[in-house]
Amino acid sequence: MQCILVATDLSSEAYNALGRACRLARQSGADLHILHAAASDCEIEEVSEIRRRLHDEAETLAEAPPLVELELSVHVTKGEGAAVILAEARRLKPDLIILGAHGEPHFRDVVFGTTASRVSSEAEQPVLVVQNDYHRRYARVMAAAEEGRAEEVLRLACGIASMHELYVVHAYGSATKSLFGYGDILEDVRADQTAKIDQVIASIPAMEDVRPQIHSIVEEGEVMSVLMREWDKAKPDLVVIGTHGRQGLARLFQASVAEAVLLGCPSDILVVPGRPALPG
């Protein structure tokens, strides 16, 4: 990564997002841009104080211990939170956007009704929503990706997580069950998926020395229902979701069973959006 954008509303949740951003910037050598969306009536003196506070916080967080010298910029812009973040993302074109969860952690809020909702659905960049202490390692990661997104999603996950265990969720519909049944066919699907995941991990330079234990989960049902059922068993530190864009992301959250469970999921969440189609 070369550029990370972290947005903060100065809350305790945002402090953990800033801490996570500093860790990832030190780890990757990326430039770090810190953004705060200020109220429209914020005075010049207040803007200066916010800028100074954020710069001091970032320098403190970056000291423990620095792996590289942190390239740091602080931006305070007046306007509505999501609009300011999206505008800055279009200008900077960061490799990753980091946000703090506001208030009680609600996994479903990544899709509906919050600043994280709008940013994760409209930004062209991956969005990391931080809900936990920034010191917590991403040792156990669970990933769910739509068809054709697995390699991209796993590469990004490996870039930010020093994982020991990787759970990859593949959900299939009732039509697949009716056509093939369970038995050997399902085992073949699981074995094939595990082999493909292993190939992807083996091709990532950052994973040469540390190979995670891979758990390939192939189950019938809606993706989010299967994901949350398995989340309850594994308790991952990070959940990674890859889709083909806004409609794909919303579709993952349509299952009524998942909707109830998602209200209390405390993992950090990495949403990897689909890339817009290239012209012509």
Contact between 100 and 11 (Cβ < 8 Å): yes
Residue 174, judged by CB atoms within 10 A of its CB (0-12, 13-18, 19+), counts as: exposed
Contact between 255 and 117 (Cβ < 8 Å): no
Task: Enumerate the β-bridge partners of residue 213.
Answer: 165
pLDDT tens digit at each of 280 positions of the chain? 899 999 998 888 789 999 999 999 988 889 999 999 998 899 999 999 999 999 999 888 877 555 456 788 999 999 999 999 999 999 999 999 999 876 544 454 544 447 877 888 788 999 998 989 999 999 999 988 666 677 778 888 888 888 889 888 877 664 444 444 555 666 776 677 777 777 776 777 766 666 788 888 877 777 677 777 888 899 999 988 876 555 545 555 443 333 333 445 678 988 888 654 333 3
Q: What does residue 57 show for φ and ψ, rounded to 5 degrees?
A: -60, -45
Residue 271, SS3 per DSSP? strand
Contact between 33 and 73 (Cβ < 8 Å): yes
Residue-range domains of the chain with CATH? 3-130 (3.40.50.620), 140-272 (3.40.50.620)
